[in-house]
Amino acid sequence: MSSIELTPSQRSILQELVNLFRQSESAVKGEDIAERVDRNPGTIRNQMQSLKALQLVEGVPGPKGGYKPTAAAYDALEIQDMDQAADVPLEHDGEPIEGANVQEIHLTSVHHPELCRAEIRLQGSIADFHEGDEITVGPTPLSKLVIRGTLEGKDDTNNTLILTIDSMRAPAEGDTPEK
Domain boundary among 76, 107, 122: 76
Separation CA 47–CA 131 (nearest Å)? 42
Do residue 94 and residue 165 come from a single domain? yes
| Domain membership flag for residue 179 | no
Amino acid letter, 83: D
Domain boundary among 76, 101, 133: 76
| Domain membership flag for residue 162 | yes
| Domain membership flag for residue 176 | no
Q: What is the pLDDT of residues 22-55, one digit of tens each?
A: 778 889 999 999 998 889 999 999 999 999 999 9
- Domain count for the chain: 2
Do residue 105 and residue 157 come from a single domain? yes
Do residue 149 and residue 99 come from a single domain? yes
Contact 85, 103 (CB under 8 A): yes
pLDDT attached to residue 4 = 74
Element holding 24 (H helix, E strand): helix 8-24
pLDDT attached to residue 39 = 92
Q: Residue 36 is part of which domain span?
A: 8-76
User: Shortest CA distance to 138 belongs to which of 97, 175, 80?
Assistant: 97
User: Shortest CA distance to 47 belongs to which of 4, 8, 80?
Assistant: 8
Contact 139, 146 (CB under 8 A): yes
Contact 58, 52 (CB under 8 A): yes
